[in-house]
Amino acid sequence: DQQVKQNSPSLSVQEGRISILNCDYTNSMFDYFLWYKKYPAEGPTFLISISSIKDKNEDGRFTVFLNKSAKHLSLHIVPSQPGDSAVYFCAASAGAGGTSYGKLTFGQGTILTVHP
Amino acid sequence: DTGVSQNPRHKITKRGQNVTFRCDPISEHNRLYWYRQTLGQGPEFLTYFQNEAQLEKSRLLSDRFSAERPKGSFSTLEIQRTEQGDSAMYLCASSLDRGAAFLKEKLFFGSGTQLSVL
C-alpha cells in the first residue's frame, strides 16, 4: 500500500531550465508535506515543506505547490543547476492525528539530473 | 554541531548472526528516529524515541528487532538472527520537539548503516 507515490523514476533537465518533480498521495490524514534531497552515500537532507493549510511555499529557487483536492504536490526548481542533481524524495506526515510529525511516509524518489 | 553520526557505515554479516548499529543524534535533540531504506524505495519508518521512551513502533519492526535509547542520548538498533531480507540501509534521524504541534519538527538524518546479509 504505497500511500505516497512518485511516478517518475528519473528526470533530466538542462541547466537554467525549470525542474518539476511530482508526487501523489492517497491518505487524507496527511497534513504536512516535505521534500528531501539525497546525494549518494549521504542521508536525506531537508529541502522545503508545506502545511496542508497552504497551497504554495517558496524558498529561493525552490517552490512547493500543494493541490489538496487532487492529492498532488510538486516541487519546482528554477533555475536548475548541476549541483541540484540528486535523488528527490517526497514525504508526508499525519502529525495532527496524534503521532509525531517526524513519522514520515516517503515516496520512492526521483533521480534528477541537471546537464550543464 | 557535528550532525547525526551512525556507526558502522557498512556491515556485512552471515544469515543468523546478530548485529547492532549505533546512532549519536545532534546533542540537544530530544527525538530520535530509525528508518530503513531498500534499493529503489524511499525510507520507511521503523520507530522513534522521545528522550529515552520509545513512543511508537512500526509493524515492520518484527520481534527480531529491538531499539534502545538509554539516558535519552545515543541509540542502538539490534537485529537478531538476521535474514537476507534485512539487507538495507538503516537511517537514523534526530529532531527537536519544542512541545507545540504547530512547530513542526525537522528531521536531520545521518548517513546510514548499510547492512548486507549473506
pLDDT in tens, B23-72: 999 998 999 999 999 999 999 999 999 999 999 999 888 899 999 999 88
pLDDT of residue B102: 58
Strand partners, B21: B77
Q: What is the pLDDT of residue B60?
A: 83
Most A CBs within 10 A among B104, B105, B111, B113, hence the mutation to make, goes to B104
Distance from CA of A59 to the nearest CA of B (A): 16
pLDDT of residue B97: 80
Got the DSSP string for B44-94?
EEEEEEETTEEEEE-TTS-TTEEEE-GGGS-EEEEESS--GGG-EEEEEEE
Q: Is B16's pLDDT higher than 90?
A: yes
Alpha carbons within 13 A on the beta-carbon side of A39: 8
Q: Which chain A residue shows the shortest CA-CA distance from B104?
A: A101
Q: Which residues contact A53 (CB under 8 A, 6 or more apart)?
A: none
Residues of B in contact with A104 (CB under 8 A): 35, 43, 45, 107
Residue A96 has a pLDDT of 67
pLDDT reading at B101 higher than 70: no
Q: Which residues pair with A67 in a beta bridge?
A: A72
- Which of A42, A101, A108 has the highest number of chain B CBs within 10 A, making it the mutation to test binding with B? A101
Look up residue B59 and give its three cell numbers: 509493524
Q: How confident is the model at residue B1 (pLDDT cuts 50, 70, 90)?
A: low
On the CB side of B6, CA atoms within 13 Å amount to: 27
Q: Percent of chain B beyond pLDDT 90?
A: 81
Q: Do residue B43 and residue A41 have CB atoms under 8 angstroms apart?
A: no
pLDDT at A100: 79
**Contact predicate B34/B25, CB 8 Å:** no
Q: How many CB atoms lie within 10 A of CB B18?
A: 11
Distance CA A59, CA A65 (A): 12
Q: Searching chain B, which residue's CA lies closest to the CA of residue A52?
A: B102
- CA atoms within 13 Å, Cβ hemisphere of B85: 5
d(CA A88, CA A108): 9
The reported pLDDT for the residue numbered B71 is 86
Residue A97 is predicted with a pLDDT of 64
State whether B111 and A49 contact (CB < 8 Å).
Answer: no
Grid cell of B107 as nine digits: 528531521
Encoded amino acid at B50, one letter: Q
Q: What is the pLDDT of residue B72?
A: 85
pLDDT of residue A41: 85
When comparing pLDDT for A60 and B106, which is higher?
A60
Residue B93: predicted pLDDT: 97
Smallest CA–CA distance, residue B98 to chain A, in Å, is 12
- Render each residue's pLDDT in chain A as its tens digit; 116 residues: 789 999 999 999 999 999 999 999 999 999 999 999 999 889 999 999 999 999 999 999 999 999 999 999 999 999 999 999 999 999 999 876 667 788 899 999 999 999 99
Residue A95, pLDDT score:
76
Q: Which of B43, B108, B111 sits opposite A41 (nearest CB)?
A: B111
